[in-house]
Amino acid sequence: MSAGPIPVLQFSNASVRGGVEEHFLTLLHGFDRRRFRFYLVCTSENLAKLKPDVPADVELIPLRLASPKDWRAALALARILRQRKIGILHSHMFTASMFASPVGWMAGVPVIVETPHVRELWRKGWKANYFIDRCIGRFVTKYICVSQANARYLVATKGLPERKMNVIYSGIDLGHYNPDRPCPIALKRSLGFADEDPVLAVIGRLEPQKGHHVLLEAMPAVLKRFSRARLVCVGDGALRQQLAKQAGELGLADAVRFVGYQADPADWYAMAAFTVLPSFFEGLPLTCIESLASGRAMVATEVDGTPEVILNGKTGLTVPPNDTVRLAEAICALLADADLCRRLARAGRELVWQRFSVSQFVEETQRLYLRAWEQCGRPVPERWPVLRQAD
């Protein structure tokens, strides 16, 4: 008997668009419609930002689960799950899963998936004992870990079952990021930069996790050696005014620009001599993949999944987090050696084409969904080639 497409609901509780959102947008675009039918539930704030980029056949539903006590929103999610007969509920980030996974279990959803994405360095006190994570984990069928480091964190630190872990590297449209894309001189001049100024780009949300303030603190030392160096911060977030104020206090007003969220960062990579990522924690940062695909080496902090893309001395340079001296030294090393920069970028582009393609990312995620679906005793949609042999 033929099985129809499996109804899948992607759930996010975030209000800011970032790498997590690009992750599930890629899935929504790439999945096989013969096997899956999609729904996206997210906050109304993010819905407005995401809607132009969501495929037309995906039903969009605004909902925020503000807290475990928000029973009205929980009931609304349960109704959505039941009315649409959702077969797979996939939550992104633990805070989303904490609210949605128990609701999904009570609503009878056969497969419940969580992608935690990051190590939660912010946790302090009782929140750092991860008791609640282990409780919620009882409702989760499978975890998708975006890096090997992410999997180790979930098992060793949170104490979640290793048998539920599945490492699937995120993928991007690598062809969109062309190392031969010409530098957008008009855009560069519009920022008040000279044609010959070497530009550093940091592309990411302006949030504490990303460590922009450490990079700003490192910039005076960089400018002391390379007075024409310039920095562009691409992204938006809660710290924008605070970081702009910090830049002014450090005397960086002429050298630093904040340009807000940019839907297509390709031109900003093309403008950059190389990129910087000074994060305190990460999952698998997409900006690393984008940068290398664009033929731009990166200076990054050696945290979590970042060293699985930025291999120190091979595809970029890595430094400890929150170390302004080492960060400035690494930036200066690439500014001083254009040949090194090009060698790292070439090797980096080869690496991302091997590991981080959209097709590989989507294919592995589809297979995980269908494996979990089969394990629940459900019929797999037709035309899925040699599923058991491939596994």
Q: What are the tens digits of pLDDT across the range 244-265? A: 999 999 999 999 999 999 988 9
pTM, rounded to two decimals: 0.82
Q: Which CATH superfamily is domain 174-355 in?
A: Glycogen Phosphorylase B; (3.40.50.2000)
> DSSP letters along 20-58, please?
HHHHHHHHHHHS-TTTEEEEEEE-HHHHHHHGGGS-TTS
Residues forming beta bridges with residue 353, ordered by sequence position: none
Contacts of 251 (CB under 8 A, 6+ apart): 220
pLDDT-based confidence at 389, cuts 50/70/90?
very low
N-to-C CA span, the chain = 23
Closest CA to 313 of 270, 347, 278: 347
* The pLDDT of residue 51 is above 80: yes
Sign of CA dihedral 120, 125, 128, 131: negative
Q: Look up the CATH architecture of domain 6-171+357-390.
A: 3-Layer(aba) Sandwich (3.40)
What distances in angstroms separate CA 263 from CA 54, 260, 288, one per listed residue? 13, 10, 17
Contacts of 192 (CB under 8 A, 6+ apart): 254, 257
- Are 157 and 180 within 8 A, CB to CB? no
| Higher pLDDT, residue 2 or 287 | 287
Residues forming beta bridges with residue 12, ordered by sequence position: 92
Neighbours of 156 (CB within 10 A): 10
Share of the chain above pLDDT 90, in %: 83
CA–CA distance, 331 with 154 (Å, rounded to integer): 32
Phi, psi of 29 (to 5 degrees): -80, -35
* The pLDDT of residue 390 is above 70: no
The whole-number pLDDT of residue 388 equals: 41
What distances in angstroms separate CA 343 from CA 36, 330, 364, one per listed residue? 42, 15, 31
User: pLDDT (tens digit, 9 = 90+) per residue, 74-95?
Assistant: 999 999 999 999 999 999 999 9
Residues forming beta bridges with residue 143, ordered by sequence position: 114, 165
Share of the chain above pLDDT 70, in %: 96
Instruction: Report CA 278 to chain centroid distance, whole Å.
Output: 15
Sign of CA dihedral 376, 379, 383, 386: positive
User: pLDDT (tens digit, 9 = 90+) per residue, 112-125?
Assistant: 999 999 888 777 77
Enumerate the CATH 3.40.50.2000 domain ranges in the chain, comma separated. 6-171+357-390, 174-355
CA–CA distance, 365 with 384 (Å, rounded to integer): 13
- Are 151 and 317 within 8 A, CB to CB? no
CA–CA distance, 378 with 386 (Å, rounded to integer): 17
The whole-number pLDDT of residue 384 equals: 52
The whole-number pLDDT of residue 136 equals: 95
User: pLDDT (tens digit, 9 = 90+) per residue, 330-349?
Assistant: 999 999 999 999 999 999 99
- Are 8 and 36 within 8 A, CB to CB? yes
**What mean pLDDT, rounded, does the chain reach?**
92
The whole-number pLDDT of residue 2 equals: 43
Contacts of 227 (CB under 8 A, 6+ apart): none
User: pLDDT (tens digit, 9 = 90+) per residue, 174-191?
Assistant: 999 999 999 999 999 999
